[in-house]
A and B are shown apart, each in its own frame.
Chain A
Amino acid sequence: MRRIDSVYGRVEILKRVLEKPTKQSHAFSASRSFSTEGAYGGGGESQQNSSRVKIFDRDLKRRDRAAWLSRNKNDTFVDAVAENLLDRLEDCKKSFPSALCLGGSLGAVQRLLRARGGIEKLIMMDTSHDMIKSCRDAQDDNSIETSYLVGDEEFLPIKESSVDLIISSLGLHWTNDLPGSMIQCKLALKPDGLFLAAILGGETLKFVLELRIACTLAHMEREGGISPRLSPLAQVRDAGNLLTRAGFSLPGVDVDEYVVKYKSALDLIEHLRAMGETNALLQRNKAKFSIFLSRIFSILNRETALATAAIYDSMFATEDGTIPATFQVIYMTGWKEHSSHPQAKRRGSATVSFTDIHKQFGGQS
C-alpha cells in the first residue's frame, strides 16, 4: 500500500473512497467555485488539494499574533471593535447557550463579553497555541464555562449544527479562503444560529495611501526592488456576496470607520507592527503589486521603517503634524436558516400585482 506522507494527501484518498456524496464534502470544493470580485478569484498555482491562491503564510501569522497579545493588552481600537460586535448580541431577543469564538482579537472578546447573549459555554479557538494559552491564563471570569482549542478557521474542527453562535473579531481577513471559512462556520451553526464577524475593509489606511508610496521608495532604496506588502482586504460590496454565497439567511453588513491619530508616521508603523498585522504574504520577492488591493500591512525592518517615516514626514506632514489613519471595519451578520426566518415566496405565487400597489399608493411617476 502506497505510503502517503502528507495529511492532505490522506483526504484525497478519503474523497475518492467515499461513494456517497455527503454534505461535508462540499466544504472542500467550495473554494474552487467562488469568484467574488477583488482578491478571491480562483487563479494562481494549485496548492495541495485546492485551486485557491495561497496568499498568507499561516504559520507566520500564528507566531506573530501571540507576540501581539503579550505586548498590547489595552489596544483601544481593537476593544472598540470587539465591543461593537458584542453589543449586537443585546439587540437579539435570542440567547446563545453555546458560542465559538474564532481567532483575531480573542482576548478582547473574552474580556468584554460580560454575560451578554446568554452564553453558557464558550469555546475559544485560534491557530496559535501560545495565544490560546494566554487567553486561558488571563481568564478571570468564571461564570461562563470556557474551553480552549487550537484550530484553523479554514479547516474548522467543529461538528455540523453544534453551536448557537460564532464570533470572529478581526480575524477572518487573514484567511486564505474566506468564502470556505464562512461556509464551514455556517455548517457548524445550529439552525437559527448567528454568525458575527468583524473584518478590516479595503478602505483601511486609504488615507495613508501616501505612506505606501513612501514605503515603496524607501524599500527600493534600501532593499533594491519591490516586494509586495499588500493584503487583499475585502470591499464592502464583497461582504454581502460572501454572506449570501456561504448560505447565510438574513445577511447584514455595516461599516464603521475608526480614525486613529498618530504623532508621527513612525508611531503608525510601530502600532501596525504591534497589532500583529504583519505581512504574511508568501510571494515576497515577486513584483505582483497589480494583484493586490492597495492597503498597507507591512513587516518593515527597522531601517526601512525609519526611512519610510522620514520620507513621509518630509513629503506629507499635515498642518498640525499628526497622521490620521483610517481603519475601516466591516461587520457581517448572518443566520443559519430556520423555518421561522422570512423566506422569499415561490416565483409565480404572487397574489397582488405591482399595478395594484401603484394604484394603492398613488403617484404618477
Chain B
Amino acid sequence: MAFPVTVLPELTTPVYSVVIDSGVLLKLTRHTSESFPATACGLILGLDANSVLQVAHAFPFPPSESSGASGSEDASAPRSKANVRYQADMIRLLKEVNIEANPVGYYISSYLGGFFNQALVDNLVSLQATNPNSIVLVHDVTRSSQSSVSLKAYRLSVQFLATNKASGGKFSSEAVVKNNLTYLDILEELPISIKNSHLGTALLHHLDSPTFTRKDDPTSFVSTSALAPNFDSLDLSIDPYLEKNVEFLLESVDDYYAEQGTFNYFQRQLAREQSKIQQWIQKTRSENALRERANLPTVSEEDWQKHFKLPTEPSRLDNLLISAQIDQYCKQIEEYSSVVSSKMFAIQNSLDN
C-alpha cells in the first residue's frame, strides 16, 4: 500500500487523543449526511505530534462507479486502485497550497452503528502498517440528526494487531487466547475535541451578532440567527429509532448463531478425524508387531499424516466482529433509553402537578 509516507513507523510516539479542526467536522458531517443511506468514505489528513493527533483537512472519495455497488465496496474504497490514484493526486495538489497533506486515517459513515465488518479491519490493518497512529472516524448519521453529533475515533488495539501478526491473518483460537483478545478489545476509542482557529472564532461571533441576522419579519421575536440553540433533543418520539436498533440487533444475533454453527461443524469434523487417526495408529501398531515377527519393514506410526488430513480451523475473526457489533447495538440502545426515560419521568412529574 503506497501512501506517501513522511513518518517512519518506528519513530512515532503513540497518540492518546484526537483534535479535529472545525472546518473538517463540518465537511465530514455534510458529506456523510448527504450520501445517506449509502456509505460515504473519505481520507483525513493531519499531523501527529505531542501525543495528540491533529486532523487538519479531509476530502471525500468519489463514489464507486460500478453499478450495484454494495455497502462493503464503498467501505473498502481507501484501498481500491482508482482511489489510491485519486488520493495521490489530491495530496500533491494540496501540498502546493501549504496544507500538511499527511494521511492519518479515514472516515466512514455508519447507519445505526453497523460498521464492524471485514472491510474496516482490512483498511485499518493496512493503514496502521504505515502509520501506527492512524484512526478511523465513524460518524453515525442517524444519531446526529436527533441530538448532538455522534462522532467517534477508533483504532485497532495492540492485542488485535499482535493476534493478526501471530496467526498470519487466520485468527486461530490459540492465537486469540494467547494475546488476550476479546471482542471488547478489537477497537480502542480515542477522545475527540474540536478546535477552532482564531479566525474561525471571529467568524462564529460574527454569525451570532445581531448585525448579521436578517430578520425577515420585523414583528417576530424569534431569533433567526444561524447559531440559535437547537431544541430537537427535547422531542419525545422514540419508535423508529428504537425499532430499527432492535431489528439490527436481532439480525446480528442470527448471524452470530450461523457463525457458531460453522465453528461447531468444524469441531465435529476435527473430532471425527482424530478418532479415525487413533484407530489407524492402533491398527499399525498391531501390524508392526506382526511384521517384526515376520522381519518385514515396519510402518512408522507418525505416517498417519500421509493418509489423513486434518480440517483447517476457520478464522475466529467473524465471530469477534459479530460479537462486537452486537455489543455496539446494545450500548446504543442503553444510551438512547437513558435519555428517553429521563424525559418521560420529567413529563410524568409535571403532569402530576
Q: Do A and B actually bind?
A: no
